[in-house]
Structure 1
Amino acid sequence: MAEARYTILLEGLEVTMGMGIHDHERAAPQRVAVTVAMDCAYPAMPKDRIDAVVDYDFLREGIQKLAAERHFELQEVFCEQVAELAMTDSRVVGVRVRSVKLDVYPDARVGCEISRSR
């Protein structure tokens, strides 16, 4: 059988974290929504067991840890670190990461999106 490809999604994970360059952003953590799409490749269609696929729990927990560990000046750097985390599993052949600051403006959200692949 040919290689099996799937996209594993983690959508709208909301974390409260330090992010931004402005004084008001440094004064208090803010809400950030994170969405990740991991393109996964398996040698064949996976069996119906969690150990046969990429488990998104490691990604969710890793993002929460990143958000708690430090203040990020730029969304770009945060997205890069999330992408690196996702790619630690060799079955992830590509990843798209989006972060969105939810409360910067009353009438808009601001974000960053990156794509990385092997």
Structure 2
Amino acid sequence: MVAALLHPRLADCRRLFLRNYEVYINIGVHEFEKRGEQRVVINVELFVPLAQTTPTEDKLHEVVDYDFMRATIARRVGKGHIHLQETLCDDIAAMMLEHPRVRAVSVSTEKPDVYPDCDAVGVEVFRIKEESA
């Protein structure tokens, strides 16, 4: 996703992030996965224009609050069982882009407990909001 940082529409943006946010959710396509929660690690990067998020009064309302990222993830996770990490990533990305100040988003999810011989399996998606006409 390093190439995303070079996108010309992101040159005037600040990058906010939520790293290694652990949640326990019902996710997976296999029957054994449907019987309980699994640990999923979620990472989110938001790209917001500096012009819209550079505080002049040092007040929270001038920026995108980190709580927005956590609350958005909680809303999606709270909707029930998810079969695929791809679905989870796409849904979280779409919900993040609904924020009027967010221009682009990167979301990754990983399941660290699936295989004993690797750190994790996961998915990452990057989306840029369409330009307004």
Percent of residue pairs identical: 34
1:33 aligns with 2:41: yes
Contact 1:59 1:85 in 2 (8 A): no
Aligned-residue RMSD, C-alpha: 1.6
- What code does the residue aligned with 1:67 have? V
- What code does the residue aligned with 1:117 have? I
- Structure number with the higher strand fraction is 1
TM superposition score normalised by structure 1: 0.90
- Which stretches of structure 1, 4 residues or longer, exceed 2 Å deviation after superposition? 42-47
Q: Write the distance in 1 (CA, Å) between the matches of 2:102 and 2:12.
A: 12
Which residue is equivalent to 2:14?
Answer: 6
1:46 pairs, out of 50, 55, 58, with 55
- What code does the residue aligned with 1:50 have? L
Q: Write the distance in 2 (CA, Å) between the matches of 1:4 and 1:117.
A: 14
Which residue is equivalent to 1:23?
Answer: 31
Q: Write the distance in 1 (CA, Å) between the matches of 2:23 and 2:75.
A: 10
Q: Write the distance in 1 (CA, Å) between the matches of 2:125 and 2:29.
A: 20
Query: Any unmatched runs of 5+ in structure 1?
Result: none
Deviation at 1:68, TM superposition (A): 2.7
Say which SS state the counterpart of residue 44 (structure 2) adopts.
Answer: strand
Which residue is equivalent to 1:114?
Answer: 125
Query: Any unmatched runs of 5+ in structure 2?
Result: 1-10
Contact 1:94 1:115 in 2 (8 A): yes
TM superposition score normalised by structure 2: 0.81
Say which SS state the counterpart of residue 92 (structure 1) adopts.
Answer: coil
Q: Write the distance in 1 (CA, Å) between the matches of 2:23 and 2:74.
A: 7
Q: Write the distance in 1 (CA, Å) between the matches of 2:101 and 2:24.
A: 29
Question: Aligned residues, how many?
Answer: 116
